Structure 1
Amino acid sequence: MSPKYYKNIEDFIVENNKDSRYLILITENTNLDIDKLEDFKISGAIFPEIILNNSHYKEGLLASVIDDNFNVDLIKDMKTFESNEKTFQDKESLIVLFDALSSDISLFLDNLFESVSEQTKIIGGGSGKMTLKQDPVIFHDGTLHQNAAIVLSTNAKLHIGIENAWEKLQGPFVVTSSEKNVLKTLNFSSSFEVYKDFVEKDSGKKITKDNFFTISKSYPLGIIKFDKEVIVRDPIAIDKDNNIVIVGDIPQNSTINILKGNKQNLIDSGNKAILKLNKDLDSHKNILIFDCISRSFFIDEELKEITKELKQGSILFGVLSVGEIANTSDEYLSFYNRTCVLGMLC
């Protein structure tokens, strides 16, 4: 897939034909008049921003021709997708675009992982808008969908690099009450009060419901796995009951830390991710990036670090996403927040 940037849908229509199928990554600030595209074969999603090489855009779209090596599937409802369908059993690699504000992410990812073979590698990003309101953000052949996903599957091999560089501020805490993506209590105390206490002390700022998302960008949560890997979760809002709303599920009885980030380490994490790809590969093709929107406050520096490692003729393209997914080798598929994920097909 070789992407091209367009300022608007009209420019895309003028320059392209109706015979090819296209992957379109479009920003939330760009008017998506789906009726104008009814004669085009398109699949894609809406994101806060898009990325092309060392630039990121709040307006416009990226369009790539999807060649015959890929199958494209629309999952109309993430909740009802079942693993026994074995839809992707014979595929080496998947690229997945999904509704990041769905409460069915964990169920969908569990079933998706069950529908592939052990060697299949998966990369993807959560679509959504910065209003943090769930809207129809997945589109396919003239229709918009909510709580849906697009899956591109291929037998090309996928190489993945993952980094986040967040560090522990406080913890561990036990999740004593939660429901899907709503965190209610930590160590039997109000999750918001526990979080607020430590973050206010470290940041020197008073947290309210109105400024919560702005401050929480620098203080995500980390679920501690059995192998000591930390899966980062993004706190995005406080609900009417003073619970913390998360992007992605946070299981009851799991153990978490409150995290914080050193800016330079976070910038360097993108560089480390692409160096992982360099280590495995002799040459580059196009590199697909899913970088969390909550890392946007240093995205210019991070893209500079990544693109300086690109080999001549390579293109970096992708999105600032609302959550990221990836697995490596035969490891389980994980849903990340605040993370940089890079992938290359060859």
Structure 2
Amino acid sequence: MTIIFTNIEFLDEATEDDVVSLIAHTVSQKAQYILVLMGSQSTLRIESIPAIAVATPVPLNACIIPGVIFEDHYSYKGVLVLGFKDKICSLLIPDIAASHDVLCQQLQQFVASNGTLGSAGIFVDGLSPAVEPFIATVYENLGSDRILIGAGVGDLNNRFNMCVANEQGCFSNAAIIFCLSNTVKLQVEGKHDLPQVAGPYLVTEAKDNIIYSLNYQPAADIYSDAISKVSGMDITQDEIAQHIHSYPFGLKQLNEEYLVRDIIAVNGNSLVCVGNVAENSLVYILNATKDILITAASDAGKQFAQKLQPNTAEQMHYVVLIDCISRALFLNDEYQLELNAINAQMPVGKKLAGVLSIGEIKNTDQGAIQFLNKTIVLGGL
């Protein structure tokens, strides 16, 4: 038995009856809390979860996520069922766009039960414009002494779909926070290594996660001109959507690293990002290539493995992987190469279990919590 999980179960394709059976098996393993992660193309519907949760003798939460990962497999149709060893307090926040006072009151319920030490997981609607203000409020209430690891959830093909559920119902614009350990801190590594190829550009009009203008000109015009020059192709505004996974934005941070902002849609002359971009900020255009992504995956695995304590396989067999869905969409069938590169760096006795996410969540070296894009995040003991 591990320090966090009783067991983790995976099915590449799963009916509702299959998932109910996996949940029953997980309960038989003495799990005290269950998390169900459902690929966005799964035949299991999130509307089924409240009734399943009511019938389950331990607390159960569920999320829709673009894809799930287990060992050397990934699936957009698959389901992961995670059983947790200890009784923990999980918190479902039904509206992350609620007022600051309301959110603080709700988050303090989690702090009252779990404190501010150890490690916690978080899943939040990654397509909500409220995601970053919410994460700032989470940090305000949980502080820097608790390591957070998590993901943006949802369905890229149905941006307003319900994505979080428990016995109370199904919710969009919502989040789940759950305790991994009140005493043990995960080791966490995050990496993207995307180089700058153009910019900077001044964000002259934006609201939440939508950029309307760069350098006082329509954002889509500036972007299409820039990636045309970089790529050597004539990319019209109508063709931008074919290239957005190759050319995300980057916001330079104090440590000279770039905070990536993926573009998920072109709406007229505006660009819709995953995560907010503030007016008067400077953005650069970064470039993703197959070789860069796979090399970064290998490096992330290597650097993470170096952080692990020796002989911890019996404490936590599984390494948590949060990998951005935009990396998989860019690599397409060759995403398996990225997954293989990470697996090749894992110590003996460690296996991957995780998700393809709409944004990745982790602490910075200074403790603050960030919402990342196009990044590999690994966590474990």
What is the TM-score of this pair, normalised by structure 1?
0.93
Q: Distance in 1 between matches of 2:196 and 2:186?
A: 31
Does the C-alpha gap of structure 1 residues 92 and 67 become closer, same or farther in structure 2, counting only changes over 3 Å?
same
Structure with the higher fraction of residues in helix conformation: 2
Q: Distance in 2 between matches of 1:202 and 1:172?
A: 14
Q: Which moved more, 1:34-43 or 1:109-118?
A: 34-43
In the TM superposition, residue 57 of structure 1 has moved relative to its aligned partner by: 0.7
In the TM superposition, residue 278 of structure 1 has moved relative to its aligned partner by: 1.7
Q: Say whether residues 1:274 and 2:301 are aligned partners.
A: yes
Q: Which runs of 5+ in 1 are unaligned?
A: none
Preserved contact between residue 224 and residue 254 of structure 1 (Cα < 8 Å): no
Q: Say whether residues 1:34 and 2:49 are aligned partners.
A: yes
Q: Distance in 2 between matches of 1:227 and 1:303?
A: 28
Q: Which moved more, 1:229-238 or 1:16-25?
A: 16-25
Q: Match of 2:355?
A: 319
Q: Distance in 2 between matches of 1:179 and 1:185?
A: 10
Match of 2:89, SS? strand
Does the C-alpha gap of structure 1 residues 147 and 35 become closer, same or farther in structure 2, counting only changes over 3 Å?
closer
- State the one-letter code of the partner of 1:13: V
Q: Distance in 2 between matches of 1:227 and 1:329?
A: 10
CA deviations over 1:294-340 (Å, ceiling 9, x no partner)? 10114211110111122233220111111111114433211111111
Q: Match of 1:93?
A: 119
Count of residue pairs brought into register by the alignment:
343
Matches within 5 A, 1:275-290: 275-281=302-308, 282=310, 283-284=312-313, 285=316, 286-290=318-322
- State the one-letter code of the partner of 1:315: K
Q: Distance in 2 between matches of 1:142 and 1:212?
A: 41
Q: Say whether residues 1:60 and 2:78 are aligned partners.
A: yes
Preserved contact between residue 212 and residue 236 of structure 1 (Cα < 8 Å): no
Matches within 5 A, 1:39-118: 39-40=55-56, 41-68=59-86, 70-80=88-98, 82-83=103-104, 85-86=107-108, 87-88=110-111, 89-118=115-144
Q: Distance in 2 between matches of 1:69 and 1:214?
A: 46
Which of residues 343, 361, 371 is equivalent to 1:307?
Answer: 343
Q: Distance in 2 between matches of 1:185 and 1:312?
A: 50
Which of residues 211, 215, 221 is equivalent to 1:187?
Answer: 215
Which of residues 244, 247, 250 is equivalent to 2:277?
Answer: 250
Which of residues 32, 35, 38 is equivalent to 1:23?
Answer: 35
Does the C-alpha gap of structure 1 residues 309 and 227 become closer, same or farther in structure 2, counting only changes over 3 Å?
closer
In the TM superposition, residue 26 of structure 1 has moved relative to its aligned partner by: 0.6
- State the one-letter code of the partner of 1:287: V
Q: Which moved more, 1:322-331 or 1:180-189?
A: 322-331
In the TM superposition, residue 214 of structure 1 has moved relative to its aligned partner by: 3.3
Preserved contact between residue 28 and residue 47 of structure 1 (Cα < 8 Å): yes
In the TM superposition, residue 69 of structure 1 has moved relative to its aligned partner by: 5.4
Does the C-alpha gap of structure 1 residues 55 and 196 become closer, same or farther in structure 2, counting only changes over 3 Å?
same
Q: Distance in 1 between matches of 2:356 and 2:294?
A: 15
Q: Distance in 2 between matches of 1:228 and 1:212?
A: 28
Q: Distance in 2 between matches of 1:322 and 1:94?
A: 19
Match of 2:132, SS? helix
Which of residues 3, 6, 9 is equivalent to 1:4?
Answer: 9
In the TM superposition, residue 253 of structure 1 has moved relative to its aligned partner by: 1.2
Which of residues 234, 239, 256 is equivalent to 1:228?
Answer: 256
Matches within 5 A, 1:99-138: 99-131=125-157, 133-138=159-164
Match of 2:128, SS? coil
What is the TM-score of this pair, normalised by structure 2?
0.84
Q: Which moved more, 1:148-157 or 1:77-86?
A: 77-86
- State the one-letter code of the partner of 2:280: N
Percent identity over the alignment is 26
Match of 1:173, SS? strand
Q: Distance in 1 between matches of 2:137 and 2:344?
A: 38
Matches within 5 A, 1:190-209: 190-203=218-231, 204=233, 206-209=235-238
Q: Distance in 2 between matches of 1:251 and 1:226?
A: 16
What is the aligned-residue RMSD (CA, Å)?
A: 2.0
In the TM superposition, residue 15 of structure 1 has moved relative to its aligned partner by: 4.0
